Chains A and B, each alone.
Chain A
Amino acid sequence: MRFKAVLGVGAAVLCFSASSTASWAKPANLKIAVSNPAALCASFRNRTIPASAFALPTGDAVVKKAALVKYQKGNGTYCRLKGAIHAKDAEDPDILFQVNLPNAWNRKTVLYGGGGSNGFIMKGTGEYSGGGGNVPTPLSLGYVTYGSDSGHQGSGTEFYANPTAFANYSHAAIKRTKDLVTALVKEYYGTPARRNYLIGGSKGGQEALQAAQRYYADFDGVVSNYPAAQSQSMTIAWNRMAHFAYGMPGGALTTENQALLKQSVLKSCDALDGATDGIVSNVKACVATFKLSVLRCASDNPAPECLTPPQIAALEVAARPFIFAHPMPNGVKSVGPYPALLGSDNSVWFGNGTAASVAGFFAPAPVFPWALEGATVDKETWQKSVLATAQVYDVSSPDFDGFQKRGGKLILVQGTLDMLVPYTMTNEFFDKLQARYGRRVGSFVRYYLIPGFGHGSGDFSAEWDSLSALDKWVETGKAPQNPVARDAGGAKAGRTRPLCEYPAYPKYKGTGSKDDAASFSCVKN
């Protein structure tokens, strides 16, 4: 007999066999414990999961490594499986995975979404996106956790040329990895999972949306943090911004210029939410209030205390929508504005004012004038060069009917200062959800727009226990009630703010500590 249902880790109260199905009706707080994890885990080495276990065309999967691992923080062990899901065509790249099986399982799973261009295995053993170090790891709570490299190896983008690899990266690896874990969990614990979740940020946030939209039958709930949901839209905008920073003489702001801009924005906007706390919370008022022209230099000579016309032109480009030459999928016609004039960390874009200091998205790159309004690019070229990628990768359709009807729950989180995934893009996505579902959107979506939060950090580096909120919502039907986020970074680490549902923002009540969420209320303009 391998399994025991337990009340909490270690307190065995009931035993049943691996083949038992009677355990299925047990209360949700019972865990399933493995009685001899070392032997059981070792038995999974070289185990094959047949291609028939996968809904999508796939080869066999093989567990190449199986080892019991001791928690370095805390007591106990878990079983770590590593291996590969082979493609149907042997010439296509594998999906490499890691699955972590706790000895006391809560009968739930969490898929860790990826990041960037993926290409590296998400381990699933540490913090989840947006959770932070003060929240217990899902594995320590008894979740089976897992992740993959999404079907290509390494950080390059050459895999875009391989349709199987690109489909895996865009969405298909989610389904294939989920099917793998469904099979492994059933073999390991003798019973399927009761609940399945996915949490991710950025690219992982896009994967959360893909999971809810395409593979809704597989997931009871997802958390999508600052989803990089529209690949081509963002890339075109980044290239355009990089061009105005370094493709035009004198466009980039030096470190001193960036600090000047930040202080000027704060001077105009910080108090508009009632609290001078270094966080611009009333974004709408700030957009209407802050005037970039006040920083214009008297001459065209660069200086630390003012901005030149090329610098102002670069900022103005970012601060207005990028309108495309032809629509993206689902009628998306533009992206942006970016929050360059709202106190964002513009070093992401400008570096320290030298081209050599900028890497990644905003590295100086060829501009794509053909992609923007006024270009003469024909639709056929647009289809081949832009739409072919966006149609596979993007999540811009508001059709989540399958997810909504099966009772799935989506928690969507976005920061106002994100210079990679602009809050305006996520706002527009949620606006479309509202237009489609009306009041019903509240039955399955919560969208929190966090002032001062950037791409995982910022003036307010938000952390909160979104997994517990999601799990409670799924299990009890009770949506998150007045959730609170904690600032994890900077001199004000530990202060809290209410998470406000878009379009509300946290406004200071006028009394009480400005470090305490209780001193703020969510209001709309």
Chain B
Amino acid sequence: MIARRSWAGVFIGLLPVASAFAQAADVAGLQRRLEEQEQKTAVLERKLEIQDETARAALPNTPVIKAGPKGFSIASQDNANVIRFRGLVHFDGRYYLDDAGLGGSDSWRTQRVRPTLEGTLYNFVDFRFMPDFGQGRTVIQDAWVTGRFRPDFQVTAGKFKSPVGLERLQSASDIRFQDRGYPTLLAPNRDLGLQVGGNFLKDALTYQVAFLNGSNDGGSSETFTDADVSDDKEWALRLFSHPFVNSGNFYLRGLGLGVAGTVTDQKGSNTQTLLSSFRTPAGQTFFSYRGAAAAAGATPASNAAIQDGDRVRITPQLYWYAGSFGLLTEYINVETDVSRQATAADPVRSDTLDNSAWQVQLSWFATGEEETYKGFTPNSVFTLGGPGWGALEFAARYQELDVDDAAFDGGALSFADPAKSASAADSIGVVVNWYLNQNVKLGLEYEHTSFDGGAAGGADLNDENALLTRVQLSF
């Protein structure tokens, strides 16, 4: 009995010791688990650090891809190398309201279909490649490379817009009317050659000097299959100023004015006369020089009028964009030495023809957007069933083109036939453009054109009235 009591006493006495051991074991276990958790946390944190380091290291080689209203682009992180994909489609309609004039068939047409690839390399070489599949043909409109060595010294080589006409130099996606005005018919379009240009005084003054193959009035080098037909070249020069671009005067900042011109000495032939025809804003030809008439063998029945000597263009130009209002105006005068030997028996007739054109355009965003020479941003975007309506713009234009009366002198020996070609045209047009967003424009335009001459017996051609529509997709 005593022994039993003794063992029980020992057992009871050992209970606190056992409890202490158990508690110590628990603490050690907890300590171990805590350390394990700390290690796991540290490993996770370190893995995140390494991921960040790897991502940062890879960043310089990770391209930046953008897709938006201004097109699609892939660029290096430092933006030194960029490639952009752009496009322009003009789907037009022409409806002649009075078939008694120059006539013409009402028609739909794809005026421009231009996928464009452009970009920058090494932060100083720009390039552009722009084919055009519009009007059922394939033409390379732009194929040029520019080295931007300094802001005031940039060299361009390839096929590009000749630096002359103000509206011609405006992007096709930015022109307000379906076709550019009469001055553009006398200014060169795209040509092949070299150009040096740049800007001074914080963009207040820009210049371009180009040495080019030379192109007809309103024409491009593809007229000559993108190759020259003679050794003679054309010089082009343009000076343009934004005198208030750096001033605090908001209304004057958008004023730009300048002068441009070309000079060349070239001689055409029966097949490449170097002389152009002129069209109304609705695309109907109202003036042409006399062409060669075919006869048996190599000898034509009659020869064409050709450029034969100097051609000098000069064009003062101005635009002014202030708030929702825009003004664009330009004048161009072209002096061209022309000759024609109607038949082998006739004397060679030579003269210097003095053709000129001018236009004034006014534009206004009824929805309050800012008018600019290049691009715009709509205040709202059209949303089907939503509150946005896009931007609404109204524009009006008056323009004249005058052909030198001397072109019609000489009867059958004249450079142009007065019974078929008008000596002058004046047009007034109005257009309403609805920009659903920055990329889609719907245009509805009315054009009225009057003529001097151009009909039999010295009568005037009937007035032309046309309704023009445009669907534009650009990005």
**Genuine A/B complex:** no
